[in-house]
Structure 1
Amino acid sequence: MYFLLNLLGVFVVMGVVFLCSPNKKAVKWRPIVSLIIVELLITWFMLGTTIGSWVINKIGSFFTWLISCANEGIGFVFPTAMANETVDFFFSALLPIIFIVTFFDILSYFGILTWIIDKGGWVISKVSRLPKLESFFSIQMMFLGNTEALAVIRDQLSVLKDNRLLTFGIMSMSSISGSILGAYLSMVPAEYVFSAIPLNCLNALILVSILNPIHVKKEEDIIYVPPKSEKKDFFSTISNSMLVGMNMVIVILAMVIGYVALTAGLNGVLGVIVHGLTIQKIFSFIFSPFAFLLGLTGHDAMYVAQLMGIKLATNEFVAMMDLKNNLDTLPPHTIAVATTFLTSFANFSTVGMIYGTYNSVLSKDKAAIIGKNVWKLLVSGIAVSLLSAMIVGLFVW
């Protein structure tokens, strides 16, 4: 019975997103079905085979190496902070952006990243039927995170129309950052974290195809290469990259502080109206029907709904810490779906981070496309997390 409820949940989530689509007639279902089949095969491969787990771990090791390189630079400037057992979000998740942006700009300078985007995007686009750049972006998000991935392709974004810029904003709600992967793994089971990462990216492709369907002409489906006249010397390029990265850190930091503070302020107002009422509890009540559709029993469904509310109103770290303290008391299915749902950046703060990134690497006018479509970003982020959790739940009981 609970398996069928879990399976029903997949169709319900897809149906809800379809109802939210402003252009239902443009939705193409054949590539969506193809992507779902690919997701089921990937989930089986990762959770059901030894080699699948080995592959994901090797990919994760590369990005862990990138972060360790970034930490060398951070540790030189802030040795005391980096020596602590618990490293603050500013040092662990934001400052590595400076090195990651620089590293991939070096790859772009020598044409390596442009070639990878072109060829890798071509392969995925054959299944997703989306343009090469959007398809490759889904791979970037697996470990780079939304802000880093957007910064890496900022030259590409600068020449896109608003409808495609919105696509990247919507997809960005479903990523995580390799810089905080270690923090996740210290709190929740690794196999579900690594399962969530590729599923989130594929589900982002699926749901953006429903929520913001676009058609790109063949002549427009190209990877932008800056003209040689705009190409600076190598050291000027990497120096500029570092400054771009630092600017992003400052903007994102302001957005995160502001949104978390606003949540606390809103909770204070709600507490005056009704004692003990918080925005987290309101979201928990709203999400409770979807928690049951994860194939959960009554008590577990309400607990996971509570985690959902915490994640959306604050962030996934707070929710994961709560889950960590209850792992010994929960059945495998509940742990699998809860962990998978929490493994993404889908919350209000992330909307601010994406807006801040657009504002810093593009312009205020380009960032306006995010501000006008906040609801689409939130719907997509929540739906991607739910869909990934439901697919993993089908394989763990």
Structure 2
Amino acid sequence: CKEQSQTIKYIVYGILSCGYVAYFIAACVLNFQRAIALVVLNCLAVFFIIYDLVKRYKGDSLKRCFRPVERCFRGNVRWLKWKCAHRVFLVVVLALLVTWLAVDTSKRPEQLISFGGICLFLLLIYIFSVHREAVSWRAVFWGLGLQFVIGLFVIRTEPGLTAFKWLGDQVQIFLNYTIAGSSFVFGNDLVTQAFAFQALPIIVFFSSVMSVLYYLGIMQWIIIKIAWIMQITMGTSPTETLSVAGNIFVGQTEAPLLIRPYLQEMTKSEIHAVMTGGFATIAGSVMGAYISFGIDAASLISASVMAAPCALGLAKLSYPETCKTKFKTKDQIKVDSSGEQNILEAASNGASASIALVANIAANLIAFLAILDFINAALKWLGGMVGYPEITFEMICSYVFMPVTFMMGIPYEESFVAAELIGTKLFLNEFLAYERLSKLKNNRLNGLPPVSDSERQWISVRSETICTYALCGFANFTSLGIMIGGLSSICPSRRGDISKTVMRALFTGTCASLVNACIAGIKVETHTLNVDFLSPVLCCSAINNGTAVHFTGSWSNVMNATLYFTSCCDLYNNTMCF
């Protein structure tokens, strides 16, 4: 009976496989451009299947084949130690970096300011380091190196730009399916008009999807592979590396659950690294909400990925390891699988688990916006006593954090607005900061003038991108309680160590986000519009002369299309079009 059922199962699998292959070929033949996404997904699936099969059946044989080479390398090249070869390697890399910066910034000197910002933030962390003599420079430079390489690929190469733009577009399309559920529950009017019914349901949907991916084992596999790359390059312990890698996808209290059984025996430096990773990144669920604001999805995804190695490297600079870790190899660490019985239970549990997060976000927004309004009213009242009623919390932040945003590479005239965003993120939360950034972006897209009544209404695309990277993290004072409470509930015996190091982790996580923004500032280019034909000039002339302009084709359905072309005219008249 077992043999027959096994035979039937193989037959069913064979029929389904043949049917899918036929479908795949037909899709590619009919319209290959339309089937690119399907081709990419299939290539990834085939690669992972082949990798797992080779590892399962030929992994030991391949290890035995390469063992003589490994012994020969270790026996004859003993001089290749960190203290000599790695220092030579470091000098070569730094020389190449300086050369590249000199060539690249010759046309864009503002990028040098961002490089100076990186040096400044690293110097600050080093000055306040616990054990400066014990700093593992391998972890620091490899962390920054991985961050730099990822940023270079994403921002400055055509394949990277295309890949992450495509990925961001797919994520945005995927998240738009939330409208089907939220419209049915709340109605179309509420979904399109009210923030709570537009952005917060995305968190429920994304949490449910993440739970399904955990049930299927996909998320654990991705996290383990990312952690493996970081561990072999940076030389960090598998526990802290796994938690920081998990922070790319899950929140500051969910990622430590991956290493829950090992928290009790982890060193203070490792616990500090775990908290720093939580502060320096954002969860995938809230990322969906930020994308719904209109924040660039590709920048958010790349910022979260880049922040992980940077956070781990800076954590080892701020709180170096002085104790011997008990976890040296990844074989000592086991990631628990999901406890659900089937995929439907996983989806349901994921949606239910998001209720607390959604309620927490809504409650915090209500409280913090009310507190902010009260603080501004109090400051205006106090300022009015001395003839300065314009003072607000945002204005104070703009002056306090202006040097920080300027060192990130934002132009002086826009650095005050960016400083308001940094202050809002640090003292309140990143949700409010991204919401404010989305308003600035919408003002730019709607063609509003840059300055109105001495108040800046929007910032440049380059500054928007830098701010997107700088705000990508949970590092704010309101997250301190969440971090202490979350980790202490997982491991009550380490509450004292968690409380002692959490402020340092907050500082380090903030610096990691700022360094991330500086990397973006070095690589982001300010593009100009190249115009070599007459039609935009004629269109501008028609608009300026008050002639009614009618749009056809895809532009006929675009709201405020005239404003877009008016902005183009402004660019043309300001000699930014060549």
Q: Distance in 2 between matches of 1:232 and 1:190?
A: 31
Asked if the contact 1:145–1:176 (Cα under 8 Å) also holds between the matched residues in 2, the reply is yes
Q: CA deviation at 1:270?
A: 4.1
Q: Distance in 2 between matches of 1:78 and 1:366?
A: 44
* 1:102 corresponding residue in structure 2: 211
- Structure 1 counterpart SS, 2:263: coil
1:285 and 2:414 equivalent? no
Q: Distance in 2 between matches of 1:186 and 1:79?
A: 20
Of 440, 454, 462, the match for 1:323: 440
* 1:390 corresponding residue in structure 2: 518
1:376 and 2:504 equivalent? yes
Asked if the contact 2:114–2:521 (Cα under 8 Å) also holds between the matched residues in 1, the reply is yes
Of 478, 490, 497, the match for 1:362: 490
Distance 1:379 1:282, change over 3 A: farther
Q: Which moved more, 1:268-277 or 1:316-325?
A: 268-277
Distance 1:340 1:90, change over 3 A: closer
Q: Distance in 1 between matches of 2:185 and 2:291?
A: 25
Of 24, 41, 55, the match for 2:163: 55
Q: CA deviation at 1:14?
A: 0.7
Q: CA deviation at 1:138?
A: 3.9
* 1:311 corresponding residue in structure 2: 425
- Structure 2 counterpart SS, 1:159: helix
Structure 2 letter corresponding to 1:318:
E
- Structure 2 counterpart SS, 1:157: helix
Structure 2 letter corresponding to 1:159:
Y
Asked if the contact 1:340–1:389 (Cα under 8 Å) also holds between the matched residues in 2, the reply is yes
Q: Distance in 2 between matches of 1:277 and 1:64?
A: 38
Asked if the contact 1:157–1:165 (Cα under 8 Å) also holds between the matched residues in 2, the reply is no
- Structure 1 counterpart SS, 2:142: helix
Of 24, 32, 35, the match for 2:143: 35
Asked if the contact 1:121–1:131 (Cα under 8 Å) also holds between the matched residues in 2, the reply is no
* 1:197 corresponding residue in structure 2: 304
Q: Distance in 2 between matches of 1:115 and 1:29?
A: 29
- Structure 1 counterpart SS, 2:506: helix
Q: CA deviation at 1:251?
A: 5.2
Structure 1 letter corresponding to 2:254:
A
Q: Distance in 1 between matches of 2:496 and 2:141?
A: 32
Q: CA deviation at 1:280?
A: 3.1
Of 111, 115, 121, the match for 2:227: 121
Of 304, 325, 328, the match for 1:216: 325
Question: Identity of aligned pairs, percent?
Answer: 21
Cα deviation 1:207-256 (Å, max 9, x = unaligned): 222223346344575323569xxx96726984766655444555565556
* 1:5 corresponding residue in structure 2: 113
Distance 1:118 1:140, change over 3 A: closer
Q: CA deviation at 1:10?
A: 0.8
Q: CA deviation at 1:387?
A: 0.9
Of 92, 112, 134, the match for 1:26: 134
Distance 1:128 1:63, change over 3 A: farther
Cα deviation 1:300-332 (Å, max 9, x = unaligned): 222322332233334322331343124764445
Structure 2 letter corresponding to 1:8:
G
- Structure 1 counterpart SS, 2:401: helix
Asked if the contact 1:18–1:211 (Cα under 8 Å) also holds between the matched residues in 2, the reply is yes
* 1:347 corresponding residue in structure 2: 476
Please show how residues 206-285 of structure 1 align to structure 2 within 5 Å: 206-214=313-321, 216-219=325-328, 222-225=332-335, 234=341, 238=346, 244-250=353-359, 254=363, 257-259=366-368, 261-274=370-383, 275-285=389-399
Distance 1:355 1:56, change over 3 A: farther
1:154 and 2:270 equivalent? no
| Alignment gaps of 5+ in structure 1 | none
Q: Distance in 2 between matches of 1:13 and 1:87?
A: 36
Asked if the contact 1:167–1:208 (Cα under 8 Å) also holds between the matched residues in 2, the reply is yes
Question: What TM-score, normalized to structure 2?
Answer: 0.56
Q: CA deviation at 1:259?
A: 5.0
Question: What TM-score, normalized to structure 1?
Answer: 0.78
Question: In the comparison of the two structures, how many residue pairs are matched?
Answer: 387
Distance 1:122 1:246, change over 3 A: same
- Structure 1 counterpart SS, 2:262: coil
RMSD: 3.9
Cα deviation 1:160-214 (Å, max 9, x = unaligned): 1363344222211222343444643753455544442322223222222222334
Distance 1:193 1:250, change over 3 A: closer
Compare CA radii of gyration and give the structure with the larger one: 2
Asked if the contact 2:398–2:419 (Cα under 8 Å) also holds between the matched residues in 1, the reply is yes
* 1:334 corresponding residue in structure 2: 463
| Alignment gaps of 5+ in structure 2 | 1-108, 384-388, 451-458, 527-578
* 2:276 corresponding residue in structure 1: 170
Q: Distance in 2 between matches of 1:40 and 1:204?
A: 13
